[in-house]
Chain A
């Protein structure tokens, strides 16, 4: 891949291809590339995962720290999602202060995780009003071939599901070398998955490669999870200056539940 931006003629050809339901790699417009998830990427993290969707690769790690609770939530633990578009992953990512995509990525993952209620924050209190666990999720793309947001969210969920609380020593300090054996308290059955729908012309696609993503004009990302047996949307963000029509949004609402079930299945298979 190079840093060269997508060209006008390629955009026009992709527009035509999508309108015919075709993609270069032969997928359907709403079809995902091969998904592969593995765990325990770092034994120094309390939980970690590596996600590969096609050639896109993201690694996510979870670290736990003990802090004071926020003043407006003295009986709840905290979540913090952070990340960096490492220059390693793409000739487009540069060293230096984060640009908007670098800021947006952790925020979208944060929203999907937080709003789903997946992490039981009330169970993360060690001493009410004084000491609570902070769950810090760090996201690092390793290779950007499109759809980083969805890959990162899957990575965060996989890592969280396999996170264990570390031991707290007698001095009140965390002993990271030893696990308490207790898993991070998670609400049963809730695991949000993110779906970013990209639009080019009148076509809507899922899981674009980097080339497809750059040609697309706008995107809308939904975080959706299983809540008490129902499909529940927890978060949404539209990005870009083109519009989505009501018909398009309604169509997406029709597709989402099936896509969630499909990817959820694939995720479970991959983690076996």
Chain B
């Protein structure tokens, strides 16, 4: 019996995506990205001076990511201030984005990426990475390629793309498996990989193929948003 998604989506269908670049005029680069009800905004400042001095790297600029949920982005109000979850996501996001950046021309500097979730309905870190990727490009940072990110997974035995909150909380059979990934667009190079659930190794291979296809769609959305900023 194939799982019927409450949203009516097909198993491999991504929620409606929206993306816009240049949403924070003060920033060097900025963007908004949404998967359905999950909305993320990202702003990039830099390369700029890095305080404190002992954190500076004389051979390259560094990337610093701060990710957090706004307190009213979730039903149970999140108290202001970084949580362990947001600190972990900040770090894995940094690792997801840095492979495409070339900061060697900017020693002793920092490129700051601020990511905030305005409304959360699962897939927040993936929406954040997609927004940050556009914001970094918009900021003119030397970049090999964009990074695209999606959550794939499994509900009992059904393979699924872009889980929403109700699906993350699914119960039954083999339970839910949530598998957020990020990759360098148009390559086979993964920069983020996390997993929670129960999934067989051969199924992982299948699910990664679904992720690849989803990432191609996401890349088109990101590309369109970046090209549109010029005509604003």
Chains A and B touch (C-beta atoms under 8 A apart): yes
Within 8 A of B (CB), among A23-52: 41-45, 48
20 new A-B pairs (CB below 8 Å) besides A1-B25, A138-B80?
Answer: A42-B70, A42-B72, A42-B73, A42-B118, A48-B72, A57-B24, A59-B118, A61-B72, A63-B72, A82-B80, A86-B116, A87-B66, A88-B41, A88-B114, A91-B26, A95-B66, A140-B116, A142-B24, A144-B26, A176-B76
- By the criterion CB–CB under 8 Å, are B77 and A88 in contact? no
Interface of B is mostly: mixed
For residue B45, CB closer than 8 A to chain A, the reply is: yes
Whether A43 contacts B26 in the complex (CB less than 8 A), given A61-B70, A61-B71, A88-B116, comes out as: no
Q: Mark B23-54, 1 if CB is under 8 A from A, else 0.
A: 11111001000000101011101001000000
Residue B119 is within 8 A (CB to CB) of chain A in the complex = yes
Q: How far is the CB of A139 from chain B (nearest CB, A)?
A: 10
A177 & B72 in contact (Cβ 8 Å cutoff): no
Please determine whether B41 and A41 come into contact, CB atoms closer than 8 angstroms: no
Which residue of chain A has its CB nearest to the CB of B42? A88
Total interface residues on B, CB under 8 Å, equals 29
The digit string for B115-136, where 1 denotes a CB below 8 A from any CB of A, is 0101110000000000000000
> Which of B39, B41, B45 has the most A CB atoms < 10 Å from its CB?
B45
Determine if A62 is an interface residue (Cβ-Cβ < 8 Å).
Answer: yes
Partner of B37, one of A43, A62, A65, A140: A43
Complex: how many Å from CA A82 to CA B25? 24
Residue contact A41 to B37, C-beta cutoff 8 Å = no
Q: How far is the CB of A67 from chain B (nearest CB, A)?
A: 12
| Interfacial chain A residues near B72, Cβ < 8 Å | 42, 44-45, 48, 61-63, 138
10 contacts between A and B (CB under 8 A): A41-B118, A42-B72, A44-B73, A55-B25, A87-B112, A88-B27, A89-B26, A95-B66, A176-B76, A177-B75
Min CB–CB distance B178 → chain A (angstroms): 19
Closest 4 pairs between A and B when the two form their complex, measured CB to CB: A61-B72, A45-B72, A176-B75, A88-B114
Interchain CA distance A142-B42 in the complex, whole Å: 10
Set of chain B residues within 8 Å of A82, measured between Cβ atoms: 71, 80
Contact of B80 among A84, A87, A144, A177 (CB under 8 A): A84
A136 on the interface (CB 8 Å rule)? yes
A82 to B70, CA, bound (A): 12
**CB distance A44 to B26 under 8 Å?**
no
Contact indicator A63/B25 (Cβ below 8 Å): no
Q: Does A19 contact B (CB under 8 A)?
A: no
Contacts of A48 in B (CB 8 A): 72
Within 8 A of B (CB), among A139-171: 140, 142-145
A84 contacts across to B, CB distance below 8 A: 80
Which partner residue on chain A sits nearest B46 by CB separation?
A: A91
Verify if B203 is at the interface (C-beta below 8 Å from A): no
Residues of B within 8 A of A95 (CB): 66
| A264 proximal to B (CB < 8 A) | no
| B10 is an interface residue with CB less than 8 A from chain A | no
A221 sits at the interface (CB 8 A): no
Q: B26 to A145, Cβ gap below 8 A?
A: yes
Q: How far is the CA of A44 from the CA of B66 in the complex (A)?
A: 22
Contacts of B45 in A (CB 8 A): 87, 91
Using Cβ atoms and an 8 Å threshold, which residues of chain A touch B120? Answer: 44
Compute how far the CA of A253 lies from the CA of B30 in the bound complex, rounded to whole angstroms.
41
A227 to B42, CA, bound (A): 41
B77→A140 contact, CB < 8 A: no
In the complex, chain B residues whose CB is within 8 Å of the CB of A62: 72
